[in-house]
Every structure is written in C-alpha cells, then in structure tokens.
Amino acid sequence: MTAVSLLFVLLLARSMASMGRHLTVSWWSPAAYLWHDALVVLVFAAFEYVFRKRRRFAWTVYAILAAYAVINVPVQRALSTPLTRPMWRAAGGPLADSIRHYATWGNAWLVLVGLAAIALAPVVARRVAPRPVLIASIACAALGPAAAARVDTAGLERNAWTALVGTVVPPVAAATPDGDWRASDHAPTAHRDL
C-alpha cells in the first residue's frame, strides 16, 4: 500500500524539518505534532483505494505529495512553516531571493535524503502490514485536535499540504449583514441643554 510509503516520507520530512527546534514533550506530543501527517495519509489511502485499478495514477500522486513535503523541509527549517498560498503568490523576485538565500549544501543534502526516501520507502513499506499503520493513523488524526489544544506546537504540526490547503480554504464563510452596517448599534439619546 502506497499510503504506508507516504507516511514514512512524511515522518522523515517532519523529523528533518524539526531538527534543532524546541519541541514540547508530553504524552500528547506525538498526536499533537503528527496528526496533520496522519490526516494526509488517510486521505491518500482513501484516494488510493478508489483508484486501486489505476496504480500508475496512484504512484504519480504519491510522488507529488511526497516531493512537495520534502521540498518544503528547508522552508520549514527557515520559517517554521511550510509554503502557504500567500507565499506562493509572492512568487517571483522576493520568493526567489529568499529561496536563493537558503540554498545551502546542508539544505540540499536534506532534500536529497528526502528524495531518496521517496524512492526507497515503497521497498521498506512492502514489509509492513498496512492495517496497523492505518489504525494508528486514524487514532492519531482523531486525537490530534485535542492533543494540539494541550501542547504548544508553535505551528510545527502543520504539514506542507495542510498548510497549503488551510490558506486556500477560508476558515469562515462571509455573511451578509441583516441591517445597515453603517448604522450605530446604540440607540440615540436625547441631549439635555445645560
């Protein structure tokens, strides 16, 4: 199952992006930091199940999901967040200058390790039973929001894909006001002449 391979790559990307960061340690920490990764894996597992007859398509989507997570590792190390939609809109000069500034041998090495993991994870995943991994991912995704409320993750729980989707989808739907938005909420008072 390719979803297990994706989980391996996402966990490696998460550990590389978190190197050198202060992580809060508690019993809730694994679920708090990893629930976004588990959620992406579960969505991909459902996608893989739906397209089980089109294996090439599933492998292509696996490669895209994993590569984007790996490419975001240097960005997460520098900014403590993966690329978001507003960052992508800043594409061009400012974004290119920022990427060029952080294009170091250390970051290149991390990306190469991640890309190698994308190729090797399916070989390792063949030896792993997918059912326990998916059950653990379901538990992690279910406990994640409650765990994140108890652990200060400083935004490090965000996955490259959930950060991108989270900035594309507005958190609250706009509503039209019932009355005149320019009118005061307070009733007019009579002025007494002194």
> Per-residue pLDDT for the chain (194 aa), expressed as one digit of tens each?
799 999 999 999 999 988 888 888 889 998 988 999 999 999 999 999 999 899 899 999 999 999 999 999 988 888 778 888 877 777 667 767 777 777 788 888 999 999 999 999 999 999 999 999 999 999 999 999 999 889 888 877 888 888 888 765 566 666 666 667 677 777 667 666 66
3-state secondary structure the chain: CHHHHHHHHHHHHHHHHHCCCCCCCCCCHHHHHHHHHHHHHHHHHHHHHHCCCCHHHHHHHHHHHHHHHHHCHHHHHHHCCCCCHHHHHCCCHHHHHHHHHCCCHHHHHHHHHHHHHHHHHHHHHCCCCHHHHHHHHHHHHHHHHHHHHHCCCCCCCCCHHHHHHHHHCCCCCCCCCCCCCCCCCCCCCCCCCC
Question: Residue 20: its pLDDT value, please?
Answer: 82
- For the entire predicted model, the pTM comes to 0.79
